[in-house]
Every structure is written in structure tokens, then in C-alpha cells.
Structure 1
Amino acid sequence: MQKAPQAVDFALKETSPNIGAGAGAGAGDKLSCTYDLVEQMQYLYVRVVKAKDLPGKDVTGTVDPFVEVKLGNYKGITKHFEKKSNPEWNHVFAFSKDRIQASVLEVVVKDKDVVLDDIVGRVLFELNEIPKRVPPDSPLAPQWYRLENRKAKGELMLAVWIGTQADEAFPDAWHSDAASVGPEAVANIRSKVYLSPKLWYVRVNVIEAQDLILSDKSRYPEVFVKVNLGNQTLRTRISQSKTINPLWNEDLMFVVAEPFEEPLILTVEDRVGSNKDETLGRCAIPLQIVQRRLDHKPVNSRWYNLEKHVIVEGEQKKEIKFASRIHLRVCLDGGYHVLDESTHYSSDLRPTAKQLWKSSIGILEVGIISAQGLMPMKTRDGRGTTDAYCVAKYGQKWIRTRTIVDGFSPKWNEQYTWEVFDPCTVITVGVFDNGHLHGGSKDSRIGKVRIRLSTLESDRVYTHSYPLLVMHTSGVKKMGEVQLAVRFTSSSLINMLFTYSQPLLPKMHYVHPLSVIQLDSLRHMAVQIVSMRLSRAEPALRKEVVEYMLDVDSHMWSMRRSKANFFRIMKVLGGLIAIGKWFDQICNWKNPITTVLTHILFIILVLYPELILATVFLYLFLIGIWNWRWRPRHPPHMDTRLSHADAAHPDELDEEFDTFPTSRSSDIARMRYDRLRSIAGRVQTVVGDLATQGERFQSLLSWRDPRATALFLTFCFVAAIILYVTPFQLVCLLAGFYVLRHPRFRQKLPSVPLNFFRRLPARSDSML
């Protein structure tokens, strides 16, 4: 396997794009978006507003008008109106000036016909006479133009100007890049900004029920409560008090998004047999009336009447009887941050309730410039093609660039801004292929980039080309590169430094913590809600895009990730291991000069113990100053070597991309299961060894081995007396000289303390 070329190919590259068109803003303008992180692109804008007094062209004397804007080989068309002589379109067309190959702009009003569209009239513009507009100038006012025709009848209101991508008309304009796309798909290629729905945790404390009506009163009821909220369903345990007044006092947690669409539905059921439950009562609680909690103080509980529904003549009707009741404590917990991202790559850590938010510490500006060398993602007309767009997610704000149709080196040059509330957060930028332009069903992932804000220097512009890497069953594959410009600007250095002393998550996560299993389940619910809400936007941000950006499958087993994490741990421990080896060399007098110097330093520290901590901190300070010369100058990026992506076995990759549950044959599943058992057995042994060492420490004073405990207590008593009458410096000197003694005074056998410790009992003797 050729690793050397891959290491170069997958590297992060610093670039020098021609940015800064809006630079030069003063210090007071630092927190305003100046659109200076992208290359300036000029566009010819044509705003078609409306027409009036259009002459009739059909036999009936009516006209079905639409407007065709032509510039060389590019042609944009508005929608047509039936039988309307005064239509209003208010449509904007944008033609990239880099691709203009004509000197005249032609705006033609036509009459829609079955066979051949008739020309109603036209307006011509010489390109060298069109005015330029530089944002933030006021928008150019449209004006009436008389249509050139033999009958000289009809007028068209237009505005024509040359501007840049910073123009407010840019996002909603029809672009010449999309000339090959049908009118119905134009909305799907425009740049858009989305907001994640506001997510709440719903806590339902099911306390008790009263006066339940049972169909069979001769048996002890086995009652539980099933709670449903949209697609989420949870249930309590079966009540231990088997009466008509059961008691639970159990908490159930859900995720819900504003605006609240589904009520909270509680059903009290009785287990009357295997897989057979009888409904004893039901109640629905609208979330709009539920109390919102900002801290850990309990909310007031309430009794709710239970309604029993019966089937009468095929219809469900309420049965009004003696009212059974259920006692609940329901609240919307606004003090938590609802986790919808992977905890390692969170972009937002604020609580749900806005009353608990703190002021922002700065802004993040990202210029999405271009991509190079993208791979063909689909086939159209017998050739490979890619319709690429970018999605960036930070906090509650998602952005989507426009789709560049049929290009392997698209240029977006779009700039976006986010407020930053915590520097220890991550922005994720993904590149996708638009699969819905020609009847496709799914947007394909090309790759993504993560940038942690705390790794960026304030007010510095980072311009880099990031490799887009994706794991396939055949191994890691480079899908191209995306060029970004990133700038993090701090509004207050003191406020930013103060955040480093604050808890990472809101206070409620520590006062009333949620279990790991709960958090994992709630995150899954949150991802489903966010993907469903964003897929209902127009244009939709597809489910597969949202799930890829939120790392929905990051918890799945992967042999490659397990190896990578193991070697990450070994690298972290490598420093301690290196120190241990260095100290062992000193103790064994491998370098006598170093050992003698160590003796001298040791004697000084023992005689002047007040210098120990000062020396340690001074040493750490000097190491940090020394390392400043080699500080990282680039943002972190996807590392194939660290991820063990460049050396993964094909079968391990096939296992990583297998569905859950598995879709492979029983022989392959058996082989992988046996391999997993082997690995898990080694992990189990290591964990067992660590537990054994800890239990041996506990057994020193537990009298599990009475002789060992008696010996240890005797040693402690004698040591206490000796240490009491012996100066502490002398004890340290003798202990240090013993540890640093020459090899000729050492034995090959283990030391007495180690022998004693290894003989201590552990609870492994009680394991089956």
C-alpha cells in the first residue's frame, strides 16, 4: 500500500485566494459582515417586475404573457399568465459576468402558444451602458420601458444593473448556471438559510392513579402507564402496588419542538395476559398549557381525569363513568441543552430557555469559496456529472449555498456569519451532490470539514483547501477539496477567557444529570425531529443531509475506529511511558553523568522542599515557551493516519458499512462475531486486571486476608513511629538513594512490597 503519496494527497493546503474586496473597514466595523472573505464575482442582474397594456395576440384577442431574458447562449424564462394583459412577475435573473459572450441584453415579452410562441415586444440594452451598483447602495429603482414592436404598444417595468454576490437580490435570483435545470427545480438550487427548531425536554413524572375501573375484579391488576408524544412512546414499570390505586413515581423524558403540534397522550393499561393489555383510561395534555421550568425546583403536580374510550358500532366514543384520575407532574425543562449533535462536535451548548442565555463573545465568518477536483457522483446523458452545493451548520443556523450545476470545480463565493457564545464549539461544513434536479431521490455526500473555534486565533483569516474524505467499503477515498476562508472575531477578550472557567453544559445537566442511556435515546429523538422539520422547509434540507451533518451513526461499532481510539490512548500514555523509561535509565546508571546530576537535584529538593512545586511549575512553563515555536498554524482537519483509514482491512470496512441488523450471510456474521468475541475477551481481561489491582488496595484494610492485614497494620504502626522520630528530609534522602541505587546493589527478583501486594486477595476469586 503506497502511503507516502496518500499522506501528501490528503494534506491540508494553505491557499491565497483573491479575497478582501470589502476589506478596509475600520475597527468599529469588525463585527459587521463586510463580505471580504470571498472572491468578488460580478453579475448582470435583470429584475422583471411587471408589464401593462400588452396587446392581444390570440384569435380571442387575449395574451398569455411571459418574459424571456437572453444574453448570448443563456436564456431565462419567467412563468406565464393566462389571458392577462397586466401581469406581475417580480423575478430576478443573474448572469455571471465571467461567462458573458455577448454585447447586447435582450428582454423579450412573448405570448405562450401551443406550437410557436409569438413575440409581443422586446427591450434591448447595450452591456457597456448598464450601470454598476456596489452594496450597500440603495436598490436600483425599476422603470418603465416601451416595448419595441411595429405597433409600439405595451410597456415593461425593469431594473438592470451590474452588481456582486453581496447584492440582496443574489439569493433569490435565477442564475445562468442553472440554465439546464427545469423551472420546477430552480427553487431547489438557490442558497438558503435555515433555523433549527427550538427543542425542549418534556419531563413527565407519573406519580399515581386512583379509582381505576377493572373489568376483572377477581385478580390483582398489573398496571402501567404508556406515554406517547408524536412518534415517541415510553412506558413505566408495572406498579408494585397491585390495587386500583397504583403508585409509580417514575420520570419519563421526551423531546419536542416548537411550535408544539402533538399533544401528550397518557394511557393507563392493565396487563391481563401475555401480549394482551387492557386500556383502563386515557388523557391528552396539550403542551401549550404545560409549565416551563428554568431551574431544578419542582413544579406543581396536578390530577387529570382519565377517559375511557369504547367501540360502539365501529366508532370510537368516550364512555363517561365514575372518573378515574392520574396524578402527574409535567413540565418543559428549559434549563437543559437538548443535544442533537455528537457531544464531541457540538456547535451550541446554550440551554433551551432564552432567559438563561448569556451575551455573545464574538462572531464567526465563513467564506465558502470553491471546490476543486470533485468526483462524478452520477451519470447524466452517458457521462459523469456532479451538481454540488455546501451546507454549514453552527448553532441553530444552517446555511445552504446555491447548487452549481454540472461542474467539478464549482465556485460559490458566498459568505455567512454566526454569533458565537462559546469558543469551545465546532462548525461543520459538508459538500453534497444535489440528486433532486432531474428526478433523483437522494442527495449524495461528498465529504465534510470540522473546525473547532478554540483552535483559531482571533481576527486572523484562515484560507485553506480542505480535503473531502469519505470512507467506502474499498477504503478511504478523496472526493475533492473545498476552499474555505474562516475568521473568528472576539468582541471581548475578557468575556471569552471567562467562559473557560464556566461549565461546558448548562447548570441543570449537573444538578439533575441525565443518564448516558437517556441522553443517547433523547439525542436520537432530537435528530429525528430536526431532520423532519428541516425536510419540510422549502426548499427541503433532506434527511440524509441533516443526519450526515449531525453524525447520526457515530455510535456504531467499527473495528477501524476502535483501533484508532486504542492508539490515541497509547499516544497519550506515550509521554508517561517515555518518562518512565528515562527514569529507569537513571536508576540503572545508563548515563552516569545524568544520574549524578539527578542526585544533586534530588538532594537540593529534599533539603529545600519548598522548591519542589516551584520547580515543577517553572519546568512546565519552560516547556510551554519552548513549544511555542512549533505551535500549530493551521486548523485541524481530517487525518487519515490518525483514523486508521489508510490501513483498514477490506473486511473491517465491509463490517463498518453493514446495516444494523446485519444483512450479511450467516457465515460472515459468525466469523465477525467470533472476531469480536476475541477482541472483547482481551478487553475483558484488561478491565478485570485493573479491577483486581484496585480490589487488592481495598483488601489491605478489609481483613479479607487476616495475616496480610495484620502484617500491613504492623508495618504502618512501626513506620509511623520511625517517621515520627526521624527527620522528614532524612527519610526522603534514604528513599531516594534506595530508588536510585547502582545496578550492582539491585536484585533480579521482584521487591518485597511488590511481592506482598501481588499476594493480596481480590474479588476475582468469587467470579463464576
Structure 2
Amino acid sequence: MANQSRNPDRNAGNVNTGHEEDFDLRETRPSLGGGRVSGNDTYDLVEQMEYLFVRVVKATGLPAKDANSGPDPFVEVKLGGFKSVTRHFENVPNPMWNQVFSILKDRVQAPVIEISVKDKARNGDDLIGTVVFDVVDVPRRVPPDSPLAPEWYRLENRRGERVAGEVMLAFWVGSQADEAFPEAWHLDVSAVSGDGVASIRSKVYLSPRLWYVRVNVIEAQELQLGDKNRQQPEIFVRVVHSNMILRTKISQSKNANPLWNEDLMFAVAEPFNEQLVLSVEDKVGPNKDDVLGKCTIPIQGLEKRLDFKPPVSRWYNLEKHTVSQNGQRAVSRTNSKVHLRISLDGGYHVLDELTHYSSDLRPTARQLWKPAIGVLELGILNAQNLIPMKAKDGRGVTDAYCVAKYGQKWIRTRTILNSFNPKWNEQYTWEVFDPCTVITIGVFDNCQLQGVHGSAKDSRIGKVRIRLSTLETDRVYTHSYPLIVLSPSGVKKMGEIQLAVRFSCASLFNMLLMYSQPLLPNLHYLNPLSCHQIDILRHQATQIVSTRLSRAEPPLRKEVVEYMLDVGSNMWSVRRSKANHYRIAGIFAAILKLSKCFDHICSWKRPFLTVIVHFLFLILVCFPRYIMSTIFIYLFMLGTMKYRRRPRNPPHMDVRLSQADTAQIDELDEEFDTFPTSQKQNDVLKLRYDRLRAIASRVQTVFGDLATQVERFYNLLSWRDPRATALFLIFCLVASVVLFLTPPKTMVIVIGFYTMRHPRFRDRLPSYPMNFLRRLPARTDSLL
């Protein structure tokens, strides 16, 4: 595939994306079947990669440097220019390491493997003894064979003489299917040390189970106001959970017994170790609130709600917190109470991602889960032509790894160091509970290795989304997906990633039955959430997931999680607005095409086709019972003819659909600006504000025209225009008499032939009904 041009066309103001074919999806034919077999599961969506494994188990009888202390032993594994060491023990003559080292067999260039046991406490020559093996003599192991049994080997010095001590080792040649592979230390990444070692291994993560806490604030009683002479207090309730603060509106009842009946919702994660802190406050000034009472509610003891049944309400006593002049805090009981209805809602789908990219539509509570309908298998094979992401030793390098997310399970591949064409060949499996879900695969550059500060962020290389419902069951899809990233300088192709995907269905009937079920859990429809609540809960859930995964080992960093969850994709963007406009225009283009086709028939541009349509129209009028069956048979034939042209490949990131190839530099700069804005130039802000007003004015005009047409239809019978309404009623009366006296077939034939009349009998002026409708009044006259 040709490399794209990455230089923006500054003169035109648009981003030059190179050739369109650079962003196309390519079908590949890799040699699959090199996976592992474990039990009844066969991993056959990856290419086989052979590795040389060395297991260092333990040593015994190691000599000490002197009689007063034991050795501080460690083992060095050396293969040509590659070497690595085990952890060392202090004053232990019989250490137990049980560590596995591996290296890709294609990178083995030395004829022998050297296993050296050394003493860290010795100065100068720290060698205790060595064991040397020929690489050609290493046996091969194929799972599900049992692991190779380790053996004891005697140590020798540099002159080949026998020395005290023995070491237990095992050598074998296997593949990435070996159970020792995930935890093996790779010899070719020995340059990475410290905390960076953990960040290069493949891992599986589970995002926390999230619940909704619904706090229904009903009322409060016997509140003790700070100012007893205050006649109309402005009382509200503030609820704090972790770093999230929500508050009710100011009560309309201006007294010491306020009413609210308002819901405040929080997203919380298991285990429920945190508390809700509720305070009733009086707004006594612009920036001053008087706390009338507080109460603390443990989340762990709340009632779990699985259906529409409302929880039981309770009264909670409020405490008064005061601070004396010397800084001492005091808590006193009061007679004030607050009436609350609090529950843990597990019947909702937790919105930890945008709804149209959801990978898990199940409710939170396990009691409401249904059996899986299939299995999704993903083979992450390799990437090609990645661009340099950072500089190291004066040259560009890329240390790439992949992250895939589906449902509650996140996976992270190992990091391939210093390669623009990394090969992972790792396979993962997920249970599928709904076919109308999306799996997301992202590629990132690891910036947490040795010599890079921990504050550095992992750079994004690209992302791929695959909707399961677009895949045929039991078919293996092997494609090379373009990795596309949009930056302030324009759209850029970062490389390609090769994936193998298979969606297996356990029962076709159960999967088809899912299409008749509601997309979201029942509570979303029985007790729907408002748009404001959805935005707040989505933000909270995203923060919880990113915080929890960033605390794992190795951490899945916050910028990675947010990129996978499309955080910020709902922010204003001229480019997205254009993309949505053209999406809507594309839908209406089909209707417009049908309208043009009918206009060609009515204008007699093809007389033969027009006569046939007249003949079919006459038959359908004479035999009306065939109208619906004709429509459905036409739809059936149309769908059948399109079967041969059905999409063969899964959808992928479309640069043209996203309007990324035509976006202007200033539009992209605005899209990547922070919120609130970090732009300091007033002229730039003025330009963007004027552009936003211009776009909003056009949208406002369209919605205004639509509202005007609807109001005109409504005013046909409203007598807003007495003469127009009278004329319409007279027309209705005459039409009812004519339709009563005239056979329906005759009326339909007359109307049909009149509509399809020859152009010589047509008038270019608007029709009488259109003139009448345009003269009707609308409420635009009442607008300011």
C-alpha cells in the first residue's frame, strides 16, 4: 500500500489526505492455525510464532564468599547478544526463582545458551558457576502436552572444572500458545528495567461493576435556621459522593419544612466502601451557604432495586457541625430530619460509553442476566508501516501495543519494542450476549519504559470498531484495517493493523429472538433517565472505570481508557456537524431519487415506461386487494437482487464520511481546543463565534420552516384565519359528497392519471392546494 502524503495543503486551507485508497480496508490471507489448544478451546486465529523457553527453577549447595555469610545469588541467562537476570536473594544458599525466559526463535543467532549463577555480594568476578547448552539440542513441546520436567545440572567454572552447587533448569521450544508465555521475561527486551518491565506484558482487565445510586430527596422538617428572623429561606440539599457533588433546586416552599421531590443520581462501583454525605443548606448570599444539618449514609447498606418497584422511604436525622474559635470541631444532634428514598439501581445499563458504541447492553444486576448467545474471538496478528512516535538515541522509534474492549473485559497485548512492523499473534475470547454491540481495538505507543518519565502519556496510533451484527456467523474475517488519527494538523494514517475476527453463534433462533427484545434493560423504559442525568452518569462512570484500570498492574492508563471510550466525542465540532448533515442528506437522497424517477414518468420522458406504469396503476386500482401484496413482493425482489451486492467486509473508519479529508485547519484547531477554551487570541475566538452563529442561524431557519409548515396544517381547523378555515370546511363538505356518489376506483383513476398527465397539460405555476397552504397563518407573527 502506498504511503500517504502527510503535509497539509496550507494554501487551500484544507487537509490533504493523499490518495483515497490509502484509507481503504484490505482483505488479507494470513497463515492461521498456529494457536494453542487448552481443553476444548482451539485458538486458531493467529499465526504460529516459535519461542525458545528457559525455566530457571532453583539452585542448591551454592558456596558462600566467606564463612560468616551466605551468597546473594542470581542467575544470568545469555543467548548471543541477549541476556537477562533473575531477582537476587540475600544470604540464601538454596534460592528458589521459578522464572521463565523466552526469545523469538527467529532472533536466535548464537549456537549456545549460557546459564550463569552469580553472587551479587562478591566484588570483581561474581561468577559461581555456568551451564552451557546447544540450541539445536533443545526439545520441542506442543500443548496440550504436559510441561517439560526440569532437571538438575552441575555448575562449572570458566575453565570447565566442576564447582560446588547445582541448578534446576528446563529448556524447550514452544509457541505463544504455551502457558508459560504470558509471564515469561523476553530476552530481547532486557533494556527495559524497573517498573517498565511490567508495562510490556500482556494482561486481561475487568472493569468494575457499576451501579446507580438514586437519591430521591422528598422533604425536610424542623430545620433550625441560622437567622431566626429570616422570612423566606432559600433551602436546597447538597449530596457529595467521592469527588462528585450534586444539588437540588431551591425549594419553592419558603419555610423550615421545605419540599423538593427531586432525584439525584450517582454512579458507584463495587465494592461499596464509600459514603454519601448529605447536607441541607440555606443560600443566604451570592457566595455564602449556611449548613443547617448533615448526615452520612453508607452505600453498602442501601436497598438494591432490580425492577420498577420503588424503594422504601426513610427519615434521616441531621447533625449540626460547628467550629469553635480555637479550631475545635463539634457535632451536635438536632431535631431536624430529612425524608429520603435511596436505592442502588441494578436494573439499568451503565452508560460507561456512548450508546451507539456500546459493547455491553446488559443490566448491572447479575440476577437479570441472560445466557450468552455466542462467542466472539479476536486474533490480533500484526501491524504494518507504523510511523515513528518518539525519538530515542537520535532516531524515531515506536513501542506499540494493542488494547481491545468488549463488555466488562479489557485486554492488553504485550509491547513490541522498537518495531514499525510489530507482530503480536495473540488471541482472546469474549462471551456475546447481544449481537448489536461493538468491539473496539486501539493501538498505542508505550511511553512508560526505561528512561521515560511516568508522567508521559501513551500516544494513540489508531482505533478500529467492529459491530458484531455486521459479521456473518462462523466466518473468519481477516482484514488489514487502516489506523487513522485526527490531529489539529489534519487526518493522518499511522499505519495498518491486521486482525482476524470470528463470531460464533450457539443458537441461531436465540440470536434472532434478540432482535425482538428491547435494546436496553426494562428500567430504561419504565423509569427513563433524563438527558441531563445520562450525561452526568456517563461522565461519572467513565471516571470510575479509568481510575480503577489505571491502578492495575500494569496500569491501563487514563488516556488509553478515555480514548477507547470516546470521551469528548459529543463536544461541538464543525467537522462532525458537516458529517451528520451529509449523513441525513444521504438518507433523503434515496427519497429524492425516487421522486425524480416518478417525475420522469409523469413528464413522459420515457413513453414506454410511462405507459407500463399507467397499465400497472390501472390494474391495481381495479384489483385493490393486490396493492399490499405487490408492494411486499417488490420489496422482496429488491432485497433479493441486492443480496449479490451485499457488503463482504466489516465497516471501518471512513475518512470521507467523517469529513476528515475536507476539514479546514482552523476547524480542527477549534475541535481540539479544550473546554472551556484555552485560546488567548480574541480575534480567533471572534471568528469561531461568528462561524458558530452562522451555522446555528441556518439550523434555526430550517427548524423554523418546519415548525411553520406544521402550524399551517394545524390552522386549517383552528379558525385563526376564518376565511381559510371556512373555505377548507366547504371543500371537505363537497369532497365528502363527491366521494360518496363516485366509486372509489373512479376517483383513484382520475387522481392517478391527473398526476401522471402529459407535460403539455401541465402548468408551471404552483398548484391550488399549495397556494392555499402557503397562505395559511402560522405563529411566526407572534415571535419577537
TM-score range, shorter chain: over 0.9
| TM-score between the two structures when normalised by the length of structure 1 | 0.97
Structure 1 distance, partners of 2:170, 2:324, is 67
CA separation of 1:398/1:139 partners in 2, compared to 1, >3 Å: closer, same or farther?
A: same
Determine the structure 2 residue equivalent to 1:211: 222
Structure 2 distance, partners of 1:620, 1:114, is 85
Q: Does the CA-based 8 Å contact 2:17-2:661 persist in structure 1?
A: no
Shift of residue 124, structure 1, vs aligned partner: 2.2
Percent identity over paired residues: 65
| 2:118 corresponds to which of 106, 110, 120 | 110
Shift of residue 242, structure 1, vs aligned partner: 1.9
1:97-122, Cα deviation, whole Å (9 max, x unpaired): 11111222211110114753511112
Determine the structure 2 residue equivalent to 1:34: 42
Matched letter for residue 654 of structure 1: D
Is 1:685 equivalent to 2:705 in the alignment?
Answer: no
| 2:140 corresponds to which of 100, 122, 132 | 132
| 2:737 corresponds to which of 698, 713, 721 | 721
Determine the structure 1 residue equivalent to 2:525: 510
Determine the structure 2 residue equivalent to 1:348: 360
Structure 2 distance, partners of 1:103, 1:34, is 34
1:513-567, Cα deviation, whole Å (9 max, x unpaired): 1112221121111111100000011110000000000000111111111111111
Shift of residue 261, structure 1, vs aligned partner: 2.9
Determine the structure 2 residue equivalent to 1:157: 168
Determine the structure 2 residue equivalent to 1:439: 452
User: Which is further off, 437-446 or 55-64?
Assistant: 55-64
Shift of residue 183, structure 1, vs aligned partner: 3.8
Q: Does the CA-based 8 Å contact 1:57-1:118 persist in structure 2?
A: no
Is 1:597 equivalent to 2:604 in the alignment?
Answer: no
| 2:320 corresponds to which of 308, 315, 324 | 308
Determine the structure 2 residue equivalent to 1:49: 57
Q: Does the CA-based 8 Å contact 1:255-1:525 persist in structure 2?
A: yes
Determine the structure 1 residue equivalent to 2:331: 319
Determine the structure 1 residue equivalent to 2:632: 617
Matched letter for residue 421 of structure 1: F
Matches within 5 A, 1:367-446: 367-437=379-449, 438-440=451-453, 441-446=456-461
Matched letter for residue 688 of structure 1: G
| 1:661 corresponds to which of 676, 686, 706 | 676
Structure 1 distance, partners of 2:225, 2:609, is 85
Shift of residue 96, structure 1, vs aligned partner: 0.9
CA separation of 1:313/1:159 partners in 2, compared to 1, >3 Å: closer, same or farther?
A: farther
Structure 1 distance, partners of 2:188, 2:413, is 13
| 2:286 corresponds to which of 252, 259, 274 | 274
Q: In structure 1, the residue corresponding to 2:84 is in which secondary structure?
A: strand
Q: Does the CA-based 8 Å contact 1:33-1:417 persist in structure 2?
A: no
Shift of residue 58, structure 1, vs aligned partner: 5.1
Is 1:230 equivalent to 2:245 in the alignment?
Answer: no
Determine the structure 1 residue equivalent to 2:189: 178
1:184-215, Cα deviation, whole Å (9 max, x unpaired): 31111000000011011110001111221222
| 2:774 corresponds to which of 746, 753, 758 | 758
User: Which is further off, 579-588 or 391-400?
Assistant: 579-588
Shift of residue 315, structure 1, vs aligned partner: 4.9
1:711-763, Cα deviation, whole Å (9 max, x unpaired): 11111122112112211111101111111111121112111111110011111
Q: Does the CA-based 8 Å contact 2:204-2:411 persist in structure 1?
A: yes
Matches within 5 A, 1:182-197: 182-197=193-208
Q: In structure 1, the residue corresponding to 2:117 is in which secondary structure?
A: strand
User: Which is further off, 91-100 or 316-325?
Assistant: 316-325
| 1:634 corresponds to which of 636, 649, 658 | 649
Determine the structure 1 residue equivalent to 2:748: 732
Matched letter for residue 238 of structure 2: K
| 1:671 corresponds to which of 676, 682, 687 | 687
Structure 1 distance, partners of 2:782, 2:712, is 14
Q: Does the CA-based 8 Å contact 1:347-1:427 persist in structure 2?
A: yes
User: Which is further off, 92-101 or 114-123?
Assistant: 114-123
Q: In structure 1, the residue corresponding to 2:639 is in which secondary structure?
A: helix
Give the CA RMSD over aligned residues. 1.7
Determine the structure 1 residue equivalent to 2:717: 701
Is 1:21 equivalent to 2:28 in the alignment?
Answer: no
Aligned residue pairs total: 763
Shift of residue 275, structure 1, vs aligned partner: 1.1
CA separation of 1:109/1:692 partners in 2, compared to 1, >3 Å: closer, same or farther?
A: same
Structure 2 distance, partners of 1:314, 1:708, is 81
1:450-489, Cα deviation, whole Å (9 max, x unpaired): 1111111111111111110011222111100011111110
Determine the structure 2 residue equivalent to 1:522: 537
Matched letter for residue 456 of structure 1: L
Matched letter for residue 681 of structure 1: S
Shift of residue 406, structure 1, vs aligned partner: 0.8
Q: In structure 1, the residue corresponding to 2:156 is in which secondary structure?
A: coil
Structure 2 distance, partners of 1:452, 1:629, is 21
CA separation of 1:33/1:428 partners in 2, compared to 1, >3 Å: closer, same or farther?
A: farther
Q: In structure 2, the residue corresponding to 1:471 is in which secondary structure?
A: strand
Q: Does the CA-based 8 Å contact 2:154-2:162 persist in structure 1?
A: no
Matches within 5 A, 1:455-466: 455-466=470-481
Determine the structure 2 residue equivalent to 1:283: 295
Q: In structure 1, the residue corresponding to 2:42 is in which secondary structure?
A: coil
Structure 2 distance, partners of 1:320, 1:107, is 71
Structure 2 distance, partners of 1:186, 1:259, is 30
Is 1:536 equivalent to 2:536 in the alignment?
Answer: no
Is 1:336 equivalent to 2:348 in the alignment?
Answer: yes
| 1:144 corresponds to which of 148, 152, 170 | 152
Determine the structure 1 residue equivalent to 2:5: none
Shift of residue 146, structure 1, vs aligned partner: 2.6
User: Which is further off, 71-80 or 121-130?
Assistant: 121-130
User: Which is further off, 351-360 or 173-182?
Assistant: 173-182
Shift of residue 324, structure 1, vs aligned partner: 1.6
Matches within 5 A, 1:463-474: 463-474=478-489
Matched letter for residue 87 of structure 2: K
Is 1:488 equivalent to 2:534 in the alignment?
Answer: no
Matched letter for residue 222 of structure 2: D
Matched letter for residue 242 of structure 2: G
Q: Does the CA-based 8 Å contact 1:366-1:417 persist in structure 2?
A: yes
User: Which is further off, 155-164 or 635-644?
Assistant: 155-164
**Regions of 4+ moved over 3 Å:** 1-5, 58-61, 113-117, 312-318
Determine the structure 2 residue equivalent to 1:8: 21
Structure 2 distance, partners of 1:691, 1:192, is 55
1:668-715, Cα deviation, whole Å (9 max, x unpaired): 110111111111111111110001001111111111111111111111
Q: Does the CA-based 8 Å contact 2:471-2:650 persist in structure 1?
A: yes
Q: In structure 1, the residue corresponding to 2:342 is in which secondary structure?
A: strand
Matches within 5 A, 1:260-271: 260-271=272-283
Q: Does the CA-based 8 Å contact 1:12-1:465 persist in structure 2?
A: yes
Structure 2 distance, partners of 1:676, 1:510, is 35
Is 1:75 equivalent to 2:75 in the alignment?
Answer: no
Q: In structure 2, the residue corresponding to 1:289 is in which secondary structure?
A: coil
Q: Does the CA-based 8 Å contact 2:318-2:333 persist in structure 1?
A: no
CA separation of 1:430/1:13 partners in 2, compared to 1, >3 Å: closer, same or farther?
A: same
User: Which is further off, 115-124 or 658-667?
Assistant: 115-124
Matched letter for residue 357 of structure 2: Y
Matched letter for residue 533 of structure 1: R
Matched letter for residue 711 of structure 2: E
Q: In structure 2, the residue corresponding to 1:573 is in which secondary structure?
A: helix
